[in-house]
Amino acid sequence: MSCLFLIDLALIGTSVSKMDIDSFSGRRNISHIDCGTQIFFFLALGMSKCVLTLMAYDLNVVIC
């Protein structure tokens, strides 16, 4: 369960950190490379969270 917590923190960090930097610098746009990197990490962490959730559910079904 601690892995799910860490993935939640990483998911928040992928979008909030870029948003904070842009708000302090006054920039309103994002480069294509930054956008692609952000989408990659968001999707990769989201898929990892789904896999870990399914594994936890499967373990719960086996125990019960």
What DSSP string runs through 7-42? HHHHHHHHHHHHHHHHHHHT-----HHHHHHHHHHH
What digits encode the pLDDT tens for the residues 12-40? 777 777 677 777 777 777 778 888 888 88
Average of per-residue pLDDT values in the chain: 78
Q: Model-level pTM?
A: 0.61
- Kindly state the greatest CA–CA separation across the chain: 54
Provide the token pair at 46.
């989201």
Number of domains comprising the chain: 1
Instruction: Report how far residue 58's alpha carbon sits from residue 39's, in angstroms, rounded to the nearest whole number.
Output: 28
Instruction: Report how far residue 11's alpha carbon sits from residue 41's, in angstroms, rounded to the nearest whole number.
Output: 8
Q: Give the pLDDT score at 2.
A: 64
For 21, the domain range is 2-63
Average pLDDT score over residue span 33-57: 84
Q: Give the pLDDT score at 63.
A: 79
Q: Give the pLDDT score at 9.
A: 77
Residue with tokens 């399914």: 54
